[in-house]
């Protein structure tokens, strides 16, 4: 049954390539002057392992398992997804520029599946964001970061100064919304990754907490 779900997940990804997404625009904010030149996503910066319960919904397919993220060096992290029973589904290493696939279950060994996971986790684990503009609303400080055709909007809670959301856009189209629930700068208790052009959602829930 689990292998059938994985096969259906792979096939579903093949049919969702050509879906349009809407233009992203900030609402109810004002531009602010700031000396901040760079902001960071530190939620995966600890050398300790990050272990989460993982739930992936891709159209009508649901896959659950355990996700482990381990920092290998200053630029590279290893990501391992296993089933709830401990069977390895996929194992890869990546940095912002490089990707190395160590293992993938045959049912998931499709180029589109690998690219989907590679791109999502490269965006999730991206750490440094040069600031181009800054805004604010009643609750958040919002920093805009540009990188080629990509634009990122990072929302920091004004009271806690914790990163609560990253909106990733490309060519002004909203692509992925990352929402974090955290008590510490280096560890997110939960994460919701929501694609805006595909019906893809990944949820992570804390299992072990890093100090």
Contact 125, 77 (CB under 8 A): yes
Indicate yes or no: pTM above 0.75.
Answer: yes
pLDDT at position 197: 80
Query: What pLDDT score was predicted for residue 200?
Result: 83
Nearest to 136 by CA among 112, 153, 113, 111: 153
Is the pLDDT confidence value at 181 over 60? yes
How far is 53 from 65, CA to CA, in rounded Å?
Answer: 6
CA triple 132-203-10, angle to 5 deg: 100
CATH of 2-208, one of 1.25.10, 2.60.40, 3.30.499, 2.50.20: 2.50.20
Would you place residue 2 in the very low, low, confident or very high pLDDT band (cuts 50, 70, 90)? low
Q: Which residues are CB-contacts of 202 (< 8 A; sequence separation ≥ 6)?
A: 54, 55, 56, 57, 120, 191, 192, 193
């Amino acid at each position: 049954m689990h292998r059938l779900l994985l096969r259906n997940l792979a096939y579903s990804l093949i049919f969702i390539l050509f879906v349009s997404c809407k233009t992203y625009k900030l609402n109810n904010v004002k531009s602010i002057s700031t000396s901040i030149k760079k902001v960071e996503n530190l939620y995966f910066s600890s050398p300790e392992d990050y272990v989460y319960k993982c739930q992936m919904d891709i159209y009508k397919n649901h896959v659950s398992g355990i996700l482990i993220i381990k920092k290998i060096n200053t630029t590279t992290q290893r990501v391992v997804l296993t089933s709830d029973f401990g069977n390895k589904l996929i194992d890869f290493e990546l940095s912002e520029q490089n990707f190395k696939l160590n293992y993938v279950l045959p049912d998931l060994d499709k180029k589109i599946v690998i690219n989907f996971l590679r791109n999502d986790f490269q965006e999730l684990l991206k750490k440094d964001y040069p600031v181009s503009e800054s805004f604010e609303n009643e609750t958040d400080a919002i920093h805009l970061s540009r990188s080629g055709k990509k634009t990122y909007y990072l929302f920091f809670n004004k009271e806690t100064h914790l990163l609560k959301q990253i909106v990733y856009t490309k060519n002004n189209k909203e692509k992925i919304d990352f929402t974090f629930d955290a008590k510490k700068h280096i560890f997110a208790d939960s994460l919701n990754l929501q694609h805006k052009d595909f019906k893809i959602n990944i949820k992570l829930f804390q299992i072990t907490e890093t100090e």
